[in-house]
Amino acid sequence: MVQVDISQLSTESNNWRELLRQFRDEFTKNETQLTKVASQSLSKEQLRDVEHFHNQFHIQLINIHDLKQAIKVHDRKMNFERTAFNGLVNEDSLARHESLLQEYRSLEQTLQDLRNEFNEFLERTP
pTM of the model: 0.90
What is the residue type of 60?
A: Q
- Per-residue pLDDT at 2: 52
- Average pLDDT estimate for 70-95: 86
- Per-residue pLDDT at 3: 58
CB 2 within 8 A of CB 92: no
- Average pLDDT estimate for 46-59: 97
